[in-house]
Amino acid sequence: MSLKKLSWMLIAVTLLAVQAQAAPPYKALIVDGQNAHDWKNTTPVLKKILEESGLFAVEVATSPAKGQDLSGFRPKFVAYDVIVSNYQGDDWPAETRADLVEYVQRGGGLVIYHFACAAFPKWKEYNEMMGLGGWGGRTEKAGAYLRWKDGKIVRDNSPGKTGAHGPAQPFQIVVREPNHPITKGLPPAFMHVTDELYGWLRGPGKNLTVLATAFAPKEKGGADEHEPILFTVEFGKGRVFFDALGHQPEQLKSVSFIATLQRGAEWAATGRVTQKVPADFPTADKAAVRE
């Protein structure tokens, strides 16, 4: 074979490899459009993080603005492997709500990101799918707190707030379920950057697995409890991953956030996690950021 022919073959093989790499196996849909948080600047970062996993082609469905007519807002959830909610605002039309419930019930994946846990206080199935939530006028009637006590998660029906946090602070995340695909291989504890430490979340908490907690000390505005920060809910045949982290784009640079979102989204989409723990993953006492 001539050298020229060989070079052309090498080029062809390289192109095929690049093509194969360029086609992510799964489809993700980020839903936004309303949120008391900065959805316009967090959605592009969430999209980039999911795409950088190499696993997802990501699209975005943006609802009309608050107070506008939402009757035409009906994303085709079934066309995706995972829905990532960055939405907190007006109630969706009944058929859109029914679509999401049916989608998850039949095996779809859902990721609840940060303040999406304040959405839809009156939508029963949404609260069941996400497990725990806060704010949005929620009260003690939303359900119990989940607390880590004496080596296990317990339900706590104490009176008190439903969704709150102290001033942003750096905190350590402690893995409570090391054998779950999302947490398997992660260090037992790892630092997150200065962020809101969500606390006092309440909800039905059915079929819920707490993957990781963070201790919220009283002197820093917390409940002096180990708060559930990362957890999963199995709803019908579907999988839900809840990620309380990531107040603003700045916090989305934390490798604690990046890696757990990528792993949580893959698990929600497929029930498995094939990703390796990144080399820059934080340690028990030092957070890691990617610029």
User: What's the min distance (Å) between Cβ of 143 and Zn ion?
Assistant: 21
Footprint on residues 219-258 left by Zn ion (CB under 5 A) = 247
Q: Which is nearer to Zn ion, 196 or 227 (CB)?
A: 196
Q: Which is nearer to Zn ion, 258 or 269 (CB)?
A: 258
- Give how many residues touch Zn ion by CB under 5 A: 2
Q: In this structure, are residues 273 and 211 in contact, taking their beta carbons and an 8 Å threshold?
A: no
Could you tell me whether strands 145-149 and 152-156 are parallel, antiparallel, or unpaired per DSSP bridges?
A: antiparallel
Give the integer Cα–Cα distance in Å for 35 and 115: 8
Q: Which is nearer to Zn ion, 147 or 247 (CB)?
A: 247
User: What's the min distance (Å) between Cβ of 38 and Zn ion?
Assistant: 9
Q: Which is nearer to Zn ion, 73 or 231 (CB)?
A: 231
Between the alpha carbon of residue 228 and those of residues 146, 163, 173, 231, the distances in Å are 7, 12, 9, 7
Q: Does 47 bind Zn ion (CB under 5 A)?
A: no
Please report, as a single letter, which amino acid is at residue 269.
Answer: A
At residue 167's C-alpha, the angle toward residues 35 and 119, to 5°, is 25
Q: Which is nearer to Zn ion, 50 or 118 (CB)?
A: 118
Q: H or E segment at 268?
A: helix 255-270
Terminal alpha carbon distance of the chain: 47
Tokens of 175: 């893995």
Give the integer Cα–Cα distance in Å for 248 and 39: 9
How buried is 229 (Cβ within 10 angstroms: 0-12 exposed, 13-18 middle, 19+ buried)? buried
Q: Which is nearer to Zn ion, 47 or 247 (CB)?
A: 247
User: What's the min distance (Å) between Cβ of 28 and Zn ion?
Assistant: 22
Among all residues, whose Cβ is closest to Zn ion?
247
User: What's the min distance (Å) between Cβ of 41 and Zn ion?
Assistant: 13
Stretch that binds Zn ion, among 53-61, 98-106, 186-194, 196-204 (CB under 5 A): 196-204
Please report, as a single letter, which amino acid is at residue 78.
Answer: V
Could you tell me whether strands 26-32 and 56-62 are parallel, antiparallel, or unpaired per DSSP bridges?
A: parallel
* 113: three-class secondary structure by DSSP: strand
Interface pick for Zn ion out of 81, 196, 225, 243 (rule CB under 5 A): 196
User: What's the min distance (Å) between Cβ of 35 and Zn ion?
Assistant: 10
Give the integer Cα–Cα distance in Å for 268 and 104: 10
User: What's the min distance (Å) between Cβ of 29 and Zn ion?
Assistant: 22
User: What's the min distance (Å) between Cβ of 254 and Zn ion?
Assistant: 14
User: What's the min distance (Å) between Cβ of 182 and Zn ion?
Assistant: 22
Q: Which is nearer to Zn ion, 86 or 213 (CB)?
A: 86
Q: How many CB atoms lie within 10 A of CB 190?
A: 24
Alpha-carbon torsion 217, 222, 225, 229, what sign?
negative
Stretch that binds Zn ion, among 2-10, 52-60, 191-199, 214-222 (CB under 5 A): 191-199
Q: Which is nearer to Zn ion, 128 or 196 (CB)?
A: 196
Using CB under 5 A, list all residues that contact Zn ion: 196, 247
